[in-house]
């Protein structure tokens, strides 16, 4: 989306917590939480992710928080939980994201089994999201049911970019992610790239069909060994009935250890997904416009979140969320001054309403008259999904040289083993 100045286009006021009405709590992590909020002006609801500055610094996670914020600023796609606002106060960093009231996929998989039709729908939407991310030179690195949110209609969206990374032309080496969903090449000495996201999508695919992950062990070393070498079993039936040959073939394609043969990988990887028998009847252009009706719609009569989060916020919170002006806390500055200064400088305000109000997006002719404001994002239309030949190769990588596990999850955590 490009860098933005912190002022509203019309009223000149910085976005702050005062612009929102606080509602239910829907998640928490080691030092951050998520609440539903309503924007006072637009009346739209968002998921407000707020991260305690001091805890973030003490857990050595600041680099990842800043990286997540910067990655989200550049993204805007139907199957991603896009960031709409970012700001900070004395205590917290805030990111307001698209609200998905359907809950996360883990919530639903723990409660029922789903048909091949429903699973195929999710996998195709998530594949569209991954294709977009990889074209933006972003690797997610933590695809799992916990990080897949459904909206009220049942569409799937990728979220939690706290260990995502931008890449260029160097391989990644760090073992970042959730163990059960890590690809074999993460444990190799060759480095890895976008291929790891397609493997993780395959694990989610398998889990949604069979109700369990391909490898279940009580020790991380055993999981690592199984991911690299153990034979994956693909039963011909699940708890919902027979599993089609086409479905098994697609799962095997994503869970192929040879990266050069893995479904989704390489310059024509997405085309191979589209042409696979399991996905061949999908109208991909309709799908990405969200014109296809989801086979499963979450309940709108009851919550799709764990209600204990709201009770904890009400009964146990020692430092409840409230508006706090940005000011210089001298006591904290004495011990954490350098890091706090970095937050002040690098966790910049972001307000997508600047785009909504800019006349160039309402009337294309106005975009051509004079130079647009410096915060206007570049418009680079995506090619039609039905025409993926000739797309840019996704062989470039980048190295972060870190070994950092996910530090924050807005819902319940998935155990690493």
Residues making up the binding site for ATP? 49
Contact 155, 411 (CB under 8 A): no
Question: Annotated catalytic, 142?
Answer: yes
Annotated binding site: 49
Sign of CA dihedral 157, 194, 135, 391: negative
Element (H, E) at 74: none
Catalytic residue among 98, 142, 197, 400: 142
Distance between alpha carbon 222 and the CA centroid of its chain, in Å?
28
- Can you tell me the distance from the alpha carbon of 145 to that of 123, in angstroms, rounded to the nearest whole number? 11
In eight-state DSSP terms, residue 70 is H
Element (H, E) at 316: none
DSSP-assigned letters across all residues of 244-274: -HHHHHHHHHHT-SSGGGSTT-STTHHHHHH
- Spatial CB neighbours of 39, under 8 Å, sequence gap ≥ 6: 19, 20, 45, 46, 96
Contact 37, 26 (CB under 8 A): no
Structural tokens at position 346: 């690098």
Contact 391, 267 (CB under 8 A): yes
Torsion angles phi and psi, residue 237, rounded to 5: -145, 150
Structural tokens at position 115: 């048909």
Torsion angles phi and psi, residue 283, rounded to 5: -90, 95
Contact 202, 255 (CB under 8 A): yes
Task: Give the active site residues.
Answer: 142
């Amino acid at each position: 989306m490009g860098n933005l100045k912190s002022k509203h286009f019309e009223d000149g006021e910085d976005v702050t917590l005062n612009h929102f009405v606080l509602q239910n709590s829907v998640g928490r992590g080691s030092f951050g939480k998520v609440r539903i909020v309503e924007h006072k002006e637009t009346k739209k609801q968002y998921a407000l992710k707020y991260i305690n500055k001091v805890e973030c610094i003490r857990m050595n996670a600041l680099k990842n928080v800043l990286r997540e914020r910067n990655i989200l600023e550049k993204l805007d796609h139907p199957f991603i939980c896009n960031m709409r606002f970012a700001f900070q106060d004395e205590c917290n960093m805030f990111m307001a994201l698209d609200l998905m009231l359907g809950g996360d996929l883990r919530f639903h998989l723990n409660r029922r089994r789903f048909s091949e039709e429903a699973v195929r729908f999710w996998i195709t939407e998530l594949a569209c999201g991954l294709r977009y991310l990889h074209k933006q030179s972003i690797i997610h690195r933590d695809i799992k049911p916990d990080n897949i949110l459904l909206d009220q209609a049942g569409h799937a969206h990728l979220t939690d970019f706290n260990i995502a990374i931008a890449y260029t032309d160097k391989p990644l080496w760090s073992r970042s992610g959730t163990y059960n969903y890590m690809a074999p090449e993460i444990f190799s000495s060759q480095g890895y790239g976008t291929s790891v996201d397609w493997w993780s999508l395959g694990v989610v695919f398998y889990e949604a069909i069979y109700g369990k992950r391909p490898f279940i062990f009580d020790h991380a070393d055993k999981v690592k060994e199984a991911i690299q070498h153990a034979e994956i079993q693909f039963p011909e039936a699940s708890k919902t009935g027979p599993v089609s040959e086409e479905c098994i073939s697609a799962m095997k394609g994503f869970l192929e250890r040879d990266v050069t043969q893995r479904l989704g990988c390489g310059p024509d990887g997405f085309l191979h997904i589209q042409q696979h028998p399991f996905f061949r009847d999908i109208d991909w252009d309709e799908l990405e416009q969200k014109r296809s009706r989801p086979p499963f719609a979450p309940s709108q009569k009851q919550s799709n979140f764990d209600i204990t989060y709201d009770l904890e916020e009400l009964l146990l919170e020692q430092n409840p969320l409230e508006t706090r002006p940005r000011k210089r806390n001298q006591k904290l500055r004495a011990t954490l001054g350098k890091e706090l200064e970095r937050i002040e400088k690098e966790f910049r305000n972001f307000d997508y309403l600047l785009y909504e109000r800019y006349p160039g997006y309402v009337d294309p002719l106005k975009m051509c008259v004079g130079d647009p404001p410096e915060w206007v994002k570049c418009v680079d239309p995506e090619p039609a999904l039905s025409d993926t030949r000739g797309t840019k190769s996704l062989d470039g990588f980048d190295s972060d040289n870190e070994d950092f596990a996910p530090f924050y999850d807005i819902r319940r955590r998935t155990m690493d083993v």
